[in-house]
Structure 1
Amino acid sequence: MNDDEFDLSLFPPPPRREPCQLYLISPQEVGGSFPDRLKAALGGAPVAAFQLRVKDIGEHELARLAEPLQRICADFATAFIVNDSVALAKRLGADGVHLGQSDGDIRDARASLGPAAQIGRTCHDSRHLAMQAGEDGADYVAFGAFYETTTKPSNYRPEPALLSWWASLFELPCVAIGGITPDNAAPLVAAGADFLAMCQAVWGRDDPAAAVAAFEGVLKG
Structure 2
Amino acid sequence: MSKTESRCRLVLIVPDIEDLDARATLLANALQGGDVASVILPQYQQDDASFQKHAEKLVPIIQEAGAAALLCGDSRVVGRSKADGIHIAGSAADIAEAIDSYADKLIVGGGNAADRHHALEVGEERPDYIFFGKLDGDIKPEAHPKNLALGEWWASMIEIPCIVMGGTDPSSALAVAQTGAEFVALRLAVFAEPDRAAAVIAEVNALLDEKAPRFEV
TM-score, normalised via structure 2 length: 0.82
Amino acid at match of 1:88: V
Displacement of 1:198 in angstroms is 0.8
2:33 equivalent among 44, 47, 61: 44
> What residue in structure 1 maps to residue 155 of structure 2?
167
> What residue in structure 2 maps to residue 114 of structure 1?
103
Unaligned runs of 5+ in 2: 212-217
The answer (yes or no) to whether the contact 1:180–1:196 under 8 Å persists in 2 is no
Amino acid at match of 2:10: L
Mapping of 1:22-41 within 5 angstroms?
A: 22-29=10-17, 31-41=20-30
Amino acid at match of 2:98: A
Q: Percent of aligned pairs with the same residue?
A: 30
Q: How far apart in 2 are the matches of 1:94 and 1:159?
A: 27
> What residue in structure 2 maps to residue 198 of structure 1?
186
Number of aligned positions between the proteins: 201
Q: 1:124 to 1:110 in 2, by over 3 A?
A: closer
> What residue in structure 1 maps to residue 6 of structure 2?
18
Confirm whether residue 140 of structure 1 aligns to residue 111 of structure 2.
Answer: no
Q: 1:157 to 1:22 in 2, by over 3 A?
A: same
SS at match of 2:111: strand
Q: How far apart in 2 are the matches of 1:148 and 1:135?
A: 25
Aligned-residue CA RMSD (Å): 2.5
Mapping of 1:68-217 within 5 angstroms?
A: 68-102=57-91, 105-144=94-133, 149-150=138-139, 157-158=145-146, 160-205=148-193, 206-217=195-206
Amino acid at match of 2:89: G
Q: How far apart in 2 are the matches of 1:70 and 1:167?
A: 29
Q: Which moved more, 1:17-26 or 1:179-188?
A: 179-188
> What residue in structure 2 maps to residue 13 of structure 1?
none
Q: Which moved more, 1:74-83 or 1:57-66?
A: 57-66
Unaligned runs of 5+ in 1: 1-15
Displacement of 1:20 in angstroms is 0.7
SS at match of 1:18: strand
Displacement of 1:125 in angstroms is 3.4
Q: Deviations over 1:147-175 (max 9, x none)?
A: 97349xxxx75153332221111111111
The answer (yes or no) to whether the contact 2:38–2:67 under 8 Å persists in 1 is yes
Q: Normalized per residue, which structure has more helix?
A: 2
Displacement of 1:116 in angstroms is 3.4
